[in-house]
Amino acid sequence: MTKLSIITPTYNAEKFIEKNINSVISQGIKDIEHIIVDSISSDRTIDIVNKYKDHFSKIIVEKDNGIYDAMNKGIKLCEGYYLGMLNAGDKYTPEGLNIIHGYLNSSN
């Protein structure tokens, strides 16, 4: 199996973070790590993330210097062979990661 790493940078994303998280969980892929890097949100983002804390391999909550800094923090923590960025307001289509994961496991 090919391990995938997904990084989601967040900041005050309470309106959409749950859809983001569920879009990854619903893929049903076991060999995946989802990393949240939050820039100390002042809304309920972290409460929502903590509701799903068993889903995440890592949750980082600390001040950063913008979205690219947050992404780089996540990259440094990745253990997967492949890396994907999924911004807080984005989500995967049903079966989207499964298609990619299947292709990566079947190709040379």
Q: Rounded to an integer, what distance in angstroms lies between the CA atom of residue 97 and that of residue 70?
A: 22
| Structure-block tokens of residue 51 | 């509701």
Compute how many other C-beta atoms are within 10 angstroms of the C-beta atom of residue 52: 17
Q: How confident is the model at residue 107 (pLDDT cuts 50, 70, 90)?
A: low
Q: What is the phi/psi pair of residue 57, to 5°?
A: -80, -30
Q: Rounded to an integer, what distance in angstroms lies between the CA atom of residue 59 and that of residue 49?
A: 8
Q: How far apart are the first and last CA of the chain?
A: 13
Average pLDDT score over residue span 53-57: 94
- Tell me what percent of the residues of the chain surpass a pLDDT of 90: 78
| Structure-block tokens of residue 33 | 């790590």
* 15 pLDDT above the threshold of 60: yes
- What does pTM read for this prediction? 0.91
